[in-house]
Amino acid sequence: MTKLSHVNAAGEANMVDISGKAITTRSAVAQGFVVMQPATLALIRDGGHHKGDVLAAARIAGIQGAKRCADLIPLCHPLMLSKVQVQFELQPDRQRIRIAALCKLDGKTGVEMEALTAVSVAALTLFDMCKAVDPAMTIEGIQVLSKEGGKTGRWQRDIDSAETAL
């Protein structure tokens, strides 16, 4: 098993030194789902929510979340993101909204945490805006789908291709 990179020889928390790493183009895609009642999904789809455009607010929140990742996750490097994209797919047959986020930069460390944070904050925003009409919603399946760049190159999760498109 590989040793944990955020723990030093004394077992103390440690921010990884990336100063010697090469700058490469790096990207990551993550996804998650907010499961809800059909009426809640219809309310969002039809723009009938009294709080306004739920998806627009969640998109902005997700982008902002990615940009603030280092403020939220201890030992996470602050990154100069070059792209953050948050998209939604309404899936009424599964009573859910799929959230997908892409983060990209030219840098020395990966952007998986930023993509995961974008999805998480977008999901939390959807939940917050709709909890009064559907308090039983659930947030599920937040995961990295793919990443590229750095010395390890490309990695992709082995799941249904319909769930991986951004």
Q: Which amino acid is at 93?
A: D
Q: What is the CATH number of the domain that holds 98?
A: 3.30.70.640
Domain-embedded: residue 16: no
Residues 24 and 38: their CA atoms lie apart, in Å, by 43
Place of tokens 């998480």: 120
Domain-embedded: residue 1: no
* 91-122: pLDDT as tens digits: 999 999 999 999 999 999 999 999 999 999 99
Tally of domains within the chain: 1
Give 157's DSSP letter. Answer: -
Q: What is the mean pLDDT of the chain?
A: 91
What is the extent of the structural domain holding 86?
A: 24-158
Residues with active-site annotation: 128
What tokens does 162 get?
């319909």
**This prediction's pTM:** 0.91
Domain-embedded: residue 164: no
